[in-house]
Structure 1
Amino acid sequence: MRQTIVRDVSDLPTYGYGPRSGPWWGAMGFMALEGMGFAIAIGAYLYLYAVNPTWPISAAPPDLWPGTVETVLYLLSVIPNEYTSRVAHRQDLRKTRLMLIVMALIGIALLILRGFEFAHLNTRWDNSAYGSIVWLILGLHTTHLATDVGDTVVLAVLMFTRHAKPRRFSDVTDNVFYWNFVVLAWLPLYVLLDWVPRL
């Protein structure tokens, strides 16, 4: 006689936090791919730096103030970002809404600063190999920044609608996780773009 064992899983949660969440693993894979993209771009920059007798090529180093202000704001943003994760884990809707708005405003401020940074690179993308690689690296990071800001805005809007269900709090913590990646990715890029040309 053949027996079929069946387990009732209807009581299991339909979402989780961190590694117990499918989207978290998706974000991990996405960050691994993006990290390799940054590594390749950094490698290209360092190769061009090594084979050219003068660096930067036909340009002054970027102005320091936009990148430095951005770096300070990125580092400070880790504090409200981590608080956002805590209130989302507690499923505190009011505080999660507030913190998503705060993080969206920080992201928008950083995008505005990034516009100033592009304007103060002191080179065009088509000026030289130096200009091309600098614009490429800054453009790559800007894409990640804009993606996270867009995700934060969408989550903030959803939290003010009927879609503000427990599963959304898990999405918020995944967004916090990705923001930390955006911050960590920027730190070596800041050194590379703003300080290496001054060596």
Structure 2
Amino acid sequence: MAHTLEKYFVPEPSKYPIFGSVALLLFGTGAAMWLNNVGPGRWVFFLGIAVLVFMMIGWFGQVVRESESGKYGHRVDRSFRWSMGWFIFSEVMFFAAFFGALFYVRVLSVPWLSSGDNLALLWQGFVGNWPTAGPGKAAPFTPMDAWGIPAINTIILLTSGGTLTWAHHGLRHGNRGQLKLGLLITILLGVTFLTLQVHEYSHAYSELNLRLDTGVYGSTFYFLTGFHGLHVTVGAIMLTVMLLRAMAGHFRPDDHFGFEAATWYWHFVDVVWLMLFVVVYWL
């Protein structure tokens, strides 16, 4: 019996990679100039952002149109799944590096510095407890309490994972009203999370004296939670695009990897926050 081989769709050469390269060049150059107060660095930075957004809208829009026109088969779908899987793996390694740095500081570095003759290398009165404002003599500060906004945000993100799963269930069973409502609720929960995080940062700066320059505790706290907030922002944008596509009639119960990719990313963000809540806030 003869078998028909599925053709693998190969897109035409695209102009968008060069736009992406120019965007990253402007973005990096502008950021360096802005941080060093050199010329119009701020405007170069935002120009890079604008070019990057243009590139993403154009390129992703082209992929959506190709997908909706039926040009993608199972082999392309498999390629997308592997690509998204490796992308999320790279994000896992990104956070693993900084969780590792936090572990090294808390478990190895600070206790070692406060032991034996090492105290002679530091300032008088240094105590190797966590959280620490070292290195250096920083002003007194209050660590962030886990059982306030962080606990509320944990409940919010866990709930958002449930509403997104509910939306996915609706899509798989042809209930598009459930799909749209679940996506909308998830997006609103994500925006609520970000709003509370901004309030948390304002409270930390104004009332707790917890700042970026509050030693290694302040820097690791803002770095980990800040980058997670950036990922929540990206995830909320992705889900907003999925909602707009759902309203336009996109996605079928048996063919909706664009939606699945966004759910993978959002659940990854949920898991990272759980780890952050335990390691950064609670312990």
SS in 2 for 1:116: helix
Report how far residue 104 of structure 1 moved: 0.9
Which one-letter code corresponds to 1:42 in the other structure? F
Matched AA of 2:72:
T
| Structure 2 Cα separation of the partners of residues 49 and 8 of structure 1 | 56
- 5 Å matches for 1:107-126? 107-121=190-204, 122=208, 123-126=210-213
What is the correspondence of 1:113-192 to structure 2 with a 5 Å cutoff? 113-121=196-204, 122=208, 123-161=210-248, 164-166=250-252, 169-192=256-279
> How far apart are residue 67 of structure 1 and its match?
0.7
The share of aligned pairs that are identical, in percent, is 22
Cα offsets for 1:136-180 (capped at 9, x unmatched): 111121121111000011111222226x24387332222122211
Secondary structure of the residue that 1:159 maps to in structure 2? helix
TM norm structure 1: 0.82
Equivalent position amino acid for 1:176 in 2: T
SS of 1:7's equivalent in the other structure is coil
Correspondence for 2:4: 7
Counterpart-to-counterpart distance in 2, 1:55 and 1:32: 30
Q: Is residue 70–residue 113 contact of structure 1 (8 Å, CA) maintained in 2?
A: yes
Q: CA deviation at 1:21?
A: 4.2
Name the stretch that deviates more: 37-46 or 112-121.
Answer: 112-121
- Where structure 1 has 5 or more consecutive residues not aligned to the other structure, the ranges are none
Is 1:81 aligned to 2:164, yes or no?
yes
TM-score normalised over the length of structure 2: 0.59
| 1:62 and 2:144 correspond | yes
Give the CA deviation at 1:120. 4.0
- Name the amino acid aligned to 2:156: L
Instruction: Provide the rounded CA distance (Å) in 1 between the counterparts of 2:145 and 2:155.
Output: 16
CA deviation digits over 1:45-87, x for unaligned, max 9? 1222232213222432203311110111122222212111111
Root-mean-square deviation over aligned CA pairs:
2.7
Q: Is the alpha carbon distance of 1:187 and 1:15 closer, same or farther for their aligned partners in structure 2, counting shifts above 3 Å?
A: farther
Change (3 A) 1:75 1:165: closer
Alpha carbons of structure 1 residues 72 and 15: separation in structure 2 relative to 1, 3 Å: farther
Greater gyration radius: 2
Distance 1:21 1:9, change over 3 A: closer
Q: CA deviation at 1:33?
A: 0.8
Q: Residue 176 and residue 169 in structure 1: after superposition, are their counterparts in 2 closer, same or farther (change >3 A)?
A: same
Of 141, 151, 154, 1:71 maps to: 154
Q: C-alpha displacement at 1:124, in angstroms? A: 0.7
2:101 corresponds to which residue?
44
Matched residue pairs, number?
188
